[in-house]
Structure 1
Amino acid sequence: MGLLFRWLMRVAAALILMLVLGTGLIYFLASQSLPEYDKDIALPGVSAPVEIVRDNANVPHIFGSFGASDEDVFFGLGYAHAQDRLWQMTVLRRTVQGRLSEVFGNRTVDVDSFLRRLDLYRLAQQSVSEQDAGTQAALLAYSAGVNARLGEINDSALGRGAPEMFLFNAPIAPWQPADSIALMKLLALKQSDQMQNEVLRARVTLILDDAARLIDILPDAPGNGVTALPEYTELFPGLKRYAEAADMPSTALSPFPNRGSAGASNVWAAMPNRSAAGGTLLANDPHMELSAPTLWYLARLELATGGVIGATMPGIPAIIAGRSENMGWGTTASYVDDQDLFIEKLNPENHEEYLTPSGYKRFKSRPSIIQIKNAKPLTLTLRWSENGPVMPGSMNGLSTVTPPGHVASLSWTALSPVDTSMTAAINLMRSQTVQDAIATGEHYIAPSQNLVLADQTSIALKTVGAIPQRDARNQNQGRLPNQGWRRENRWQGRAPYAANPQFINPRGGILGNTNNKLLQRPFPNHVSYNWGDTQRVRRWQKLMQTRQVHTRDSFIEAQLDAVSYTARTILPLIGADLWYTSSAAPDGSPEQQRQVALRLLSEWNGEMNEHLPEPLIYAAWLSALQKRLIIDELGPMAGEFYQVEPLFIERVYRNVDGAAAWCDVRQSAPVETCTGVAQLALDDALVWITERYGPALEALRWGDAHQATQDHEILGDVPLLRFFVNIRQSTSGGDNTLQRGLSSGEGPNPFENVHAAGYRGVYDFSDPDSSVFITSTGQSGHFLSRYYDDMAQLWRRGEYIPMSLDTELARAAAVGITRIQPR
């Protein structure tokens, strides 16, 4: 026994030693790709010395020496992006190229298939020559900076540039100008869900027995109504009334937005007469799906026209949201209706032809081969009609709304080979006044944005990006998939830029947007029927109007405001007949739990604070209530309405145009009341809460359920490793608060915060260097770097870092200075 024990001890010691050595080797290899920030290096592609000063938050301040050009500064940005976010850049590029499966295998074939059909990368290549000379030069210089870093990695054996490269080894092609343009198109894809909305609307019309109820479950933003639409079955007779589940790529790498998470943002500005210090103010926080690292990267560029600082997206050589010494700019998703689906009628005699206003015409087509790791290649046939690329029936459930003998094609503004959006983004940084910036915006094609501007004296909001010109005779006003062979349904080019919504120096001195409806104009000048917000804007109006003058700090306070206008509006409606009406109940009984929940909610001010129990009770109640209201009408489609629609709940409980009909369960003999359904839904919510968090309602914390899921898109599900690469935090806010944290609405953790402000910035032009900004993770994409998550806790607590163009301040606490000399 003693001998056996000794041998077991030796084996255990050997295994421990091997584990330690293996861990050490893995750490050594992974750490080789950690960039060195303090160095002197000679690189090809730069014409004069460039200096990259990284301040104490690792924000690069990029300067050209005497004789250097703007192109040298863009070279420095490309180099810095590749130092910190090389893996992220290569994955984004593979995504838009439809080449993920070469690295990740079968799990990404659907994503690649859809992206290949959109053909965004080829369109980006065609758009390179359409940029102005200055932008082409910037793109070439930026690409040279990225490639210089790639050359350095190869020459110096710097751990393949990122630790992920050891797990998913694949050659990295040199960066090209088309890559940056393609990433801007990918950003446009992430920010538009009009196609999904069209399909969903069509599918709901096929299943609802009462067409009048469509406006309840898919409500229009408040304002003047729209004209009645035709029944979808009138457009395409023979379609069956069914509702199958809609297919979408399920991988975390999918760029296709879920409904309700296409894009959201807050931005507002104040004129000097509404500013306590007498200078203009601007605040911006764009919202996108959370990830680690975040999509945003902070940087400062010293251009010939002056310094600019703010948020960039790795792969794109532009400050997308930020400021110069004289002007600031911020964006929100505009929700322009920039996508239309067309149903194309196939020639019964030849399915390679489709019907046009002038007769049958042959599809344009070409093969495309998807290489798949550890599997056989897949050959696609890409087809285009005059309306756009033909989309697969599996996308968003298109097959359920496409009649036999037809296919669906997509018109979308981003499908332009003459896309000058990059020119607009580069020239925006050089603009000195609001009027200059508005003129530059004419070159924007996609993504469409509400661009909010502030210079020293003026503020403005201008919707930039192409808006399709539709015929007034369009059969369904772009709200449903349309008959593609009818001339009146087709796009007629781009609406004049001058017709895009514009507001300059309003009388009240303050303007802003929370993705809310901008204006009411009759079709076809309507801009959109689907808007991203009807709730946050109400709270914003109150916060802006309760002060005569504002400061940087009051704008920060508004960005971080977690009070739910929705909760304050809806709780009195759904609980109207439940407050204080119950009789005494024994401890621990369902009746007593309901009384405790109602008491807590009756005393609550609607603040979605992470430390309070009421937000969780409220959110669970509304979720359960919507499920009960729609399940019998929508059947299997009810699961696709996983995020609560406040306007739907309000319409039902105010019985707007008979919307209370949703409360009655059609399959049951009794007539259910809305009060009864609300009580049952509250009981459902409390059962779920008790099973998940225990029966002590007063001890609940919203933040335990509302954790920000800043997960690594590839390694985030890998056991053990996920604890190092994922950034999880308790957060305040909710679906409809200014400090927006959109809940997933699905799965075992339906209230996880999956979509929020990855960047926040507040600019004060009475003292520009007092401006502040922050991102939700950190500058580095390398999970061994101390800059991977160093901003995460600041972001969660509502703190910021200085946003200064003061060169000496950047140097004073620099974590490193990289001096690049021409080779």
Structure 2
Amino acid sequence: MKRLFNILLYTFLAACAAGLAVSGTVYFLLRASVPDYDEDFSVAGIDSPVDILRDSSALPHITAGSAEDVYFAIGFVHAQDRLGQLLRARRATKDLLPLEPTTEIDSSTSDALEAYAAGVNAWLGLVSEGGRGRGSPELLIADERMIAAWRPVDSLRIAHAFLSDLRPKSRQELSVSSDLRVPSDRPATPELFATPPEVSLNAWALSGDRTATGAPILAADIVGPLSLPSEWYLADLQLPTGAAIGATLPGVPFVVIGRNERVAWAFRSTSQNAVREPEAPTGRGAGDYLMMLDRLARSTDANNALSGTSEMLSAGMEVLAIDRETLARWPEREIERPASFRDARLAVLDDRQLIFSVEGAITVQRDTVSAAARALLPLMAKELWFVRSASGIEETRTERLRNEILDKLAQWNGDMDRYSQEPLVFWAWVSALQRRILQDEFPAAKEVWTRPNPDFLYAVLSGRDRSEVWCDIRPSARTETCEDQVRAALDDALGWLVDRYGSDPSDWSWGEAHTLNMQWSPIRPGGMVSDLLSLEAPTPGDPFTLMSTVFASDDDRPFVSDAGTNLQAVMSLSDESGSYFITPAGQSGHPLSRFYENLFPKWMQGEYIMMSTDLSLARGGAAGTSRLSPKSEDSSSTKEDRSQ
């Protein structure tokens, strides 16, 4: 018996020791892959030394003697901070069109893509030498084929995928499980199948006569996936023609939304919802788009920035540019896109104020009043607000709850505040109503009646073009009215809320149900590790507020947001005002880096980072400074060598 005990004890101790050894090795490899921002490197592919200054938020400020060396360095730091994200994006786009950069883009852009690829490959080479834990935590278990050399065509494919994400889904893409055809006895309400794109670009500008400094202001934001690391990477590229600062897309060397010392630029999607079947962008559009970004970074004024844009701008996009005096756009006449609740709210705020400061523009961007709620709620509750129990008859508990909620909604201004109960009641009610109206028509197409569609509900409740017929339940013998459905949906919603959050409405809050859920995105998604590394916090807003959040497809948590506004920028070229940017996570994609989530608190509190082309400002509290030096045997390398 004693011998058996000793055997079991030694086996247990050996297992513990082995576990500790494995854990220690894994931790060492993970720590080894955290970038050291003070480390210098000797690399092939550059002509002269490149300095990379990381400011207090780890934003890189890159200084080099040539544009190609700057683009080499941004490829290097993209790989250093976001290697897993780069390789994941490449894998996701590998089946796109076989684009050939030499036949699609000019020499300046081609040189930039080759230099960028060389920069990515320089970091891959350093990782392959060992001692860096394969460069990223998730690559410890990745297939070796994932870490192949980067090519310029990879950047083109990523740009192509970005443009494709701006395209709204077609009806076929919306539902692969069923045939979405409107029954013959129902009106063809176009809003029913209108779908937002996965990514949308939003921008608005103020001319100098409407700003406190007399210089134009340009505000931009992007709605898209919320993930860790962030979809966007902030950087300062000190090009020989002048610095270009702003948001870069990992995988692409250029600033997508940003400014140089003379011009600021941003883009606006012109087709926010698909009413008819959209056309996919062509492969040619990716090359043109990158050439336009290259030209914008080197532009000298707003009009110069937009010269030649007509041949480069992808369909469904508008570009805005400002300098110290001028506001310009292409097309010159603002394109009218389909009416949206976000645009309606922006118009209200724009009309409300005559003169704006940069801070005022930021306040507009962070607005969380829902125009959808302000439009729909009066139609939903117009009859119920005036209905009470018959005189002399005591109200039931359900009636008291219903009347209490209706009284609160009558005083609500539509603000999707995370501490308020009204947003939660409103969206639970809307969800129940949409389900009652559409589930009988499209029982197999769940996304049709679960995806929030206030445009469709507005058409139905307002009775436009006989759309109120949708309220009738087809299998039932009687003809249901929209008033019947609204009343029943309110009871459905209240029952769901009581079951989920208790019978006391004072305990309900929007933030309890509506959280910002940012999941770590490794090479192989899912699993317990991704859950441990995610960020989640109560958040205001909804899919139709200016500070946008998009509900995830989660039956258990229907109002969790895994997409929404993931970049905000407000730019001015005046001396008195700066340019401000913010993303919801951090610069690093490494979970053990202190810059993995350092911007998340700022994002939640509505704080922005001021970005400047002045390097002296970046040096204050800098996180590190590193230098890339050319290898001696490669000091006379040609541009062709960079792509190897």
TM-score, structure 2 normalization: 0.91
1:669 paired with 2:477, answer: yes
TM-score, structure 1 normalization: 0.72
2:261 pairs, out of 317, 325, 328, with 325
Between the aligned partners of 2:323 and 2:81, the Cα distance in structure 1 is 32
Partners of 2:227 and 2:520 within 8 A in 1:
yes
Partners of 1:744 and 1:750 within 8 A in 2:
yes
Between the aligned partners of 1:50 and 1:36, the Cα distance in structure 2 is 16
Between the aligned partners of 2:92 and 2:538, the Cα distance in structure 1 is 30
**Per-residue CA shift, 1:608-635, capped at 9, x if unaligned?**
0111111111011101101111222333
Count of matched residue positions in the alignment of Structure 1 and Structure 2: 628
Partners of 2:519 and 2:531 within 8 A in 1:
no
Equivalent position SS for 2:360: helix
Partners of 1:147 and 1:175 within 8 A in 2:
yes
Q: Which amino acid aligns with 1:582?
A: R
- Tell me which residue corresponds to 1:356: none
Between the aligned partners of 2:229 and 2:283, the Cα distance in structure 1 is 28
What value does the CA root-mean-square deviation take over the aligned residues?
Answer: 2.9
**Per-residue CA shift, 1:361-390, capped at 9, x if unaligned?**
xxxxxxxxxxxxxxxxxxxxxxxxxxxxxx
Contiguous gaps of at least 5 residues in structure 2: 632-644
Q: Which amino acid aligns with 2:160?
A: K
Q: How does 1:387-786 map to 2 (within 5 A)?
A: 412-416=280-284, 419-444=287-312, 446=314, 448-462=316-330, 501-503=331-333, 518-519=335-336, 531=338, 534-583=340-389, 589-637=397-445, 639-714=447-522, 718-767=526-575, 770-786=578-594
Distance change >3 Å, CA 691–CA 6, structure 1 → 2: farther
**Per-residue CA shift, 1:643-688, capped at 9, x if unaligned?**
2222221222221122211222232222222222111111111222
**Per-residue CA shift, 1:797-820, capped at 9, x if unaligned?**
211112111111112221111111
Distance change >3 Å, CA 559–CA 686, structure 1 → 2: same
Q: Percent identity?
A: 33
Q: Which amino acid aligns with 2:58?
A: N
Alpha-carbon shift at residue 580 of structure 1 (Å): 4.6
Alpha-carbon shift at residue 325 of structure 1 (Å): 1.7
Q: How does 1:201-280 map to 2 (within 5 A)?
A: 206-210=181-185, 212-215=187-190, 217-218=192-193, 259-280=195-216
Q: Which amino acid aligns with 2:188?
A: R
- Tell me which residue corresponds to 2:88: 91
Partners of 1:769 and 1:802 within 8 A in 2:
no
Distance change >3 Å, CA 634–CA 576, structure 1 → 2: same
Between the aligned partners of 2:476 and 2:170, the Cα distance in structure 1 is 36
Between the aligned partners of 1:612 and 1:140, the Cα distance in structure 2 is 52
Between the aligned partners of 2:286 and 2:604, the Cα distance in structure 1 is 41
Alpha-carbon shift at residue 760 of structure 1 (Å): 0.9
Equivalent position SS for 1:329: strand
Q: Which amino acid aligns with 1:78?
A: G
Equivalent position SS for 2:506: helix
Partners of 1:47 and 1:72 within 8 A in 2:
yes
Equivalent position SS for 2:309: helix
Between the aligned partners of 1:639 and 1:602, the Cα distance in structure 2 is 30
Q: Which amino acid aligns with 1:79?
A: F
Alpha-carbon shift at residue 442 of structure 1 (Å): 3.0
2:121 pairs, out of 147, 151, 160, with 147
Alpha-carbon shift at residue 693 of structure 1 (Å): 2.2
Partners of 2:216 and 2:327 within 8 A in 1:
yes
Partners of 1:128 and 1:177 within 8 A in 2:
no
Equivalent position SS for 2:383: coil
Alpha-carbon shift at residue 150 of structure 1 (Å): 1.0
Alpha-carbon shift at residue 710 of structure 1 (Å): 1.3
Q: How does 1:44-123 map to 2 (within 5 A)?
A: 44-64=44-64, 68-98=65-95, 119-120=96-97, 122=98
Between the aligned partners of 1:803 and 1:611, the Cα distance in structure 2 is 32
Distance change >3 Å, CA 6–CA 562, structure 1 → 2: farther
- Tell me which residue corresponds to 1:190: 165
Partners of 2:200 and 2:272 within 8 A in 1:
no
Between the aligned partners of 2:531 and 2:241, the Cα distance in structure 1 is 45
Q: Which amino acid aligns with 2:364?
A: A
Alpha-carbon shift at residue 446 of structure 1 (Å): 4.1
Partners of 2:218 and 2:572 within 8 A in 1:
yes
Distance change >3 Å, CA 596–CA 14, structure 1 → 2: farther
Alpha-carbon shift at residue 729 of structure 1 (Å): 1.9
Equivalent position SS for 1:634: coil
- Tell me which residue corresponds to 1:22: 22
Alpha-carbon shift at residue 6 of structure 1 (Å): 8.3
Distance change >3 Å, CA 338–CA 301, structure 1 → 2: farther
Alpha-carbon shift at residue 761 of structure 1 (Å): 0.9
Alpha-carbon shift at residue 191 of structure 1 (Å): 1.7
Between the aligned partners of 2:599 and 2:183, the Cα distance in structure 1 is 48
Distance change >3 Å, CA 454–CA 203, structure 1 → 2: farther
Partners of 2:169 and 2:197 within 8 A in 1:
no
2:108 pairs, out of 109, 116, 134, with 134
- Tell me which residue corresponds to 1:477: none
Partners of 2:114 and 2:152 within 8 A in 1:
yes
Distance change >3 Å, CA 717–CA 558, structure 1 → 2: same
Partners of 2:163 and 2:281 within 8 A in 1:
no
Distance change >3 Å, CA 452–CA 445, structure 1 → 2: closer
Partners of 2:439 and 2:449 within 8 A in 1:
no
Distance change >3 Å, CA 204–CA 55, structure 1 → 2: same
Alpha-carbon shift at residue 7 of structure 1 (Å): 7.8
Q: With CA pairs under 8 Å and 6+ residues apart, which has the higher RCO, 1 or 2?
A: 2
Q: Which amino acid aligns with 1:170?
A: E
Equivalent position SS for 1:635: coil
Alpha-carbon shift at residue 607 of structure 1 (Å): 0.3
Partners of 2:232 and 2:248 within 8 A in 1:
yes
1:815 paired with 2:623, answer: yes
Alpha-carbon shift at residue 278 of structure 1 (Å): 1.5
Alpha-carbon shift at residue 752 of structure 1 (Å): 1.1
Partners of 2:551 and 2:559 within 8 A in 1:
yes
Distance change >3 Å, CA 549–CA 56, structure 1 → 2: same
Q: Which amino acid aligns with 1:616?
A: L
Between the aligned partners of 1:767 and 1:16, the Cα distance in structure 2 is 63
